[in-house]
Amino acid sequence: MIDVRLLTDPFNPGLFVGPFTAAHPGLGGVCTFVGEVRGEGGVEALELSHYEPLTLPGMQALGQGTVDRFGLLGILILHRTGVLLPGEPIVCVSAAAHHRRAAIDAVDYAMDHLKSRSWFWKREKRGGQWRWIEPRADDYTAASRWD
């Protein structure tokens, strides 16, 4: 099961992870990561823009590649777009596997790719001013360990 979604409204990760887990009886482990908008440093908002004809197929390919690479029973990838406020979830990745290590590694792999090789343009608002943000060097380093 590969469930990949772009969301425009705030979401409660638990409302997605619960049914995802229930859809995989007999699994050995589920690992879930939820990333939220940080409010530190005066961040007032985060905006994520994208080009859906490329973004959704890219995310689906990431989902399929992750399932294949780690032998998963399923993966759930949710990603918000639009303007988000501090404390709101941006992304949720959940992997179901026969063994915990595969689930943990799969989520780590998917997040490293979403952080450094994603199809989103990001900008944040601080002090009433918007500025574009790029992946950090650490994001690229983290993703390169999977090559």
pLDDT of residue 83: 97
State the CATH number of the domain containing residue 99. 3.90.1170.40
Long-range contacts of 59-65 (CB under 8 A, 24+ apart): 59/4, 59/6, 59/119, 60/2, 60/4, 62/4, 62/110, 62/113, 62/114, 63/2, 63/3, 63/4, 63/110, 64/2
Helix (H) or strand (E) holding 102, with range, is helix 100-116
Number of domains in the chain: 1
The more confidently predicted of residues 145 and 12 is: 12
What mean pLDDT, rounded, does the chain reach? Answer: 93
pLDDT of residue 40: 87
* Domain limits for position 50: 2-20+28-144
Rounded to whole angstroms, what are the CA distances from 60 to 8, 20, 128, 139? 17, 16, 35, 21
Q: Residue 55: helix, strand or coil by DSSP? A: helix
DSSP 26: T
Confidence bin at 62 (pLDDT 50/70/90)? very high
Least confident of 39-43, 66-70, 137-141: 137-141
pLDDT of residue 136: 80
The whole-angstrom separation of Cα 103 and Cα 23 is 15
